[in-house]
Amino acid sequence: MDDIAIDPPLSARLGAEFLGTFWLVLGGCGSAVLAAKVIDSTDKVQLGIGFLGVAFAFGLTVLTGVFAFGHVSGGHFNPAVTFGLAVSGRFAWKDVVPYWVIQVVAASVAGLVLFVIASGKDGFSASASGFATNGYGDRSPNGYGLAACLVCEVVMTAVFLYVILGSTDDRGPKSFAPIAIGFTLTIIHLVSIPVTNTSVNPARSLGVAWFAGGAALGQVWLFILAPLIGAAIAGASYAAITGARRDPVDVGVANNPA
């Protein structure tokens, strides 16, 4: 008799989401805050990792997090991903809010840890440094306006969800999904760091905005709304575009049941 797979209890899934989201924000935002610039301005070796390094940090945290925890919770680590999967029929609506809450809590704890570490340097100011927050207008890394940042975040999040939905489709080789997802997030950051400092993740944006305060919190609404819109677009259209079945399945990210 074949073993019957039993989904992990909600408490276990929330624990996995906490760990994965914490790692994403600590690793990704931590690379931006602590390592993106030259460590010593008098050092001509230029030890900072720059945009490329930050992009890879975000991609690698998702890749490693999904490999480590995806089999428990589905490896969302992002309220927009949870929302898009629910819209697509791959995730139970009743679990959306618990996932959102734990993702924001985990991101905020990671932001606190990062704030404590960064504050160990004389003269550090989260508001003055930006603290890896997202922004538009004068808070955009390269001065992009509200409309451009809105379009960027919506489109990039939609692309992210399309890749997640496609790479975890039962018709494809799901064992490689974390690699596809991680590298997609890397590419997204390479494109959009100059525009918005890249969110595509409301929890990531909120987790550091609390500590930067002021202008960062005043603009964070965009980085909650736009990723949710992009995720909804992808979640609603993936099945129609690719012919995937929309039958509800387990809590994980994979589906296309027979």
**For range 197-202, the mean pLDDT:** 98
Express each pLDDT in 85-143 by its tens digit.
999 999 999 999 999 999 999 999 999 999 999 999 999 999 999 999 999 999 999 99
The model scores a pTM over 0.85: yes
176: containing domain: 10-242
Residues 84, 93: Cα–Cα separation, whole Å: 11
- Is residue 1 predicted with pLDDT exceeding 80? no
Residues 63, 23: Cα–Cα separation, whole Å: 11
Residues 201, 80: Cα–Cα separation, whole Å: 6
3-state secondary structure of 255: strand
Express each pLDDT in 167-197 by its tens digit.
999 888 888 999 999 999 999 999 999 999 9
Secondary-structure breakdown of the chain: helix, strand, coil percentages, each rounded to the nearest 5: 70, 0, 30
- Specify the CATH number for the domain of residue 123: 1.20.1080.10
**For range 225-237, the mean pLDDT:** 98
CB-CB neighbours of 111 under 10 Å: 29
Is 27 among the domain residues? Answer: yes
Residue 136 C-alpha from the chain's centroid: 18
Residues 168, 248: Cα–Cα separation, whole Å: 14
Is 254 among the domain residues? Answer: no
Contact status, residue 7 vs residue 251, Cβ threshold 8 Å:
yes
Is 252 among the domain residues? Answer: no
The pLDDT of residue 136 is 98
Contact status, residue 61 vs residue 132, Cβ threshold 8 Å:
no
Is 248 among the domain residues? Answer: no
Residue 145 C-alpha from the chain's centroid: 22
The total domain count for the chain is 1
**Degrees to nearest 5, angle at CA 131 with 49 and 190:** 45
- In one-letter notation, the amino acid at residue 200 is V
Burial (CB count <10 Å: 0-12, 13-18, 19+), residue 107: buried
The pLDDT of residue 48 is 81
Average pLDDT, the chain: 91
Is 214 among the domain residues? Answer: yes
Contact status, residue 248 vs residue 90, Cβ threshold 8 Å:
yes
Is 146 among the domain residues? Answer: yes
Distance (Å) of CA 229 to CA 47, 81, 135, 233 = 38, 11, 17, 6
